[in-house]
Amino acid sequence: MRDLEQHPITPDFDVWPVIVKPAAVRSEDGALLVEWSDCSISRYHPFLLAENDPSPDVLHPLARETTLSPLDLPGDLLISSAELGPDGTVIVHWTHNHPTSRYHPGWLYGNGWFDTPHTIETTVLWTGKNQPEPPTFDGPTALNDPAVFLSWLTALRDFGVARLENLPNQDGLLMQVVERIGPIRESNFGRMYTLEIKDDPDSNAFTSDALMLHIDMPTRECPHGLQFLFCRDNTTSGGEGIYADAYRIAADLAAEEPEHFKALCEIEWTYNNRSKSTSYKAKGPVIERDFGGRVTGIRYNTWLRAPLVASLQEQGRAYRSYRAFAARAQDPTYQMKFAYRPGDLVAFDNRRTLHGRNGYDAHGGTRFIEGIYSDRDDLLSAIRSLERSFTTETTS
């Protein structure tokens, strides 16, 4: 027998604080309608509630995943009535003698349809003018204080670039920091790479030359989502990092050069790496969007771009739009430029934030920068998990 004074579990491990309480509930055309204490109204399809029923017949109590097939439910299952239980738990009665269900009010509020989507936009678009340097946090403090670590991660999510400073020159530290966020994603450059000058380089990065702004790994079906560069030592002159927010560039192109923006979203370029031992190849538009038209990624790298095999007319359209993108990427007003200081760890969204560098004098000192890749999903999971650890279930 379940304790009716307790909120039921939810079909996840998130914390759902009951900030707003349900004031009244009823069935409306077989769906659930909830009136809340803040006067808002939310609605729930019967199938949404049935498959998220927290009873052990439907939800594995340990895994918190449903065990129900869509075909286990009658196709015309409806909510016959609903009532409020003790402490605001919502009790739902069904047609077809389907067993009564109970729902956590915080989970219902967080997953209801309120006639408008619930999305919260956190992305902050920037140029070098309003954001001359990455959001920066003291490294040792961030590694000791989960709240500061979370602030670094949310800045990385929102700005697409964020920096820790004052970290010690320590073997394995970069790997430890990245693994605290999530798994490392290896590449053809290994689990971790060092930006050093190679006698026989398999990338421009392994020279002391200047690097045009670019993303890494456009040669992959899904380019790596995050990149971390840890400067352990630098006594060379030059070599400053140059970064630009390609989402800002895309937004400005959409507003000011819509023809080029459209071409950048439609024309798929192929990218291939230049290596004697590997041969990666992938294609995609410079600007990737989701079904809602929101920019979700950038695939821009001039030296890994392969010939475009298309009609001359299409090639002309492709090159004109690529030049329009490059003109903004190379425009200093879009760029932040800063030196890599020993102890700096710069993290950035590789599929949003373009990166490059000035050339440096390899004979004037030493320069030791390590790099690691991971993915955006790991960042977002780490943020949600940390936020969850700071949230408690309270009622107002």
By the criterion CB under 5 A, which residues form the site for Fe ion? 216
Nearer residue to Fe ion within complex by CB, 248 or 355: 355
Closest approach of Fe ion to the CB of residue 301, in Å: 8
204 vs 315, beta carbon nearer Fe ion: 204
187, 280 Cβ separation under 8 angstroms: no
Please, which residue, 53 or 216, has the CB nearer to Fe ion?
A: 216
Contacts with 353 (C-beta within 8 Å, 6 or more apart), sequence order:
160, 161, 243, 244, 245, 246
- Taking each helix axis from N to C terminus, what angle separates 258-266 and 312-329, rounded to the nearest 10 degrees? 110
The secondary structure of 349-390 as a DSSP string is ETTTEEEEE--B-TTSS-EEEEEEEE-HHHHHHHHHHHHHHH
* Nearest distance in Å: CB 202, Fe ion: 13
Minimum CB distance to Fe ion smaller for 142 or for 212: 212
Pairing label, strands 226-234, 345-349: antiparallel
Min separation Cβ 344 and Fe ion, Å: 16
* Rounded least distance, CB 163 to Fe ion, Å: 16
Q: Which is nearer to Fe ion, 216 or 245 (CB)?
A: 216
Q: Report in angstroms how near the CB of residue 239 gets to Fe ion at its nearest.
A: 13
Minimal distance, residue 56 CB to Fe ion, in Å: 50
User: Nearest 5°: phi and psi at 310?
Assistant: -160, 175
Amino acid at 271: Y
Length, in residues, of the chain: 396
Nearer to Fe ion, 52 or 227 (CB): 227
Beta carbon nearer to Fe ion, 22 or 371: 371
- Smallest gap from residue 122 Cβ to Fe ion (A): 25
Q: Helix (H) and strand (E) counts for the chain?
A: 9, 20
Q: Is the dihedral of CA 72, 78, 80, 82 positive or negative?
A: positive
- Specify whether the CB–CB gap between 151 and 158 falls below 8 A: no
Residue nearest Fe ion (C-beta atom): 216
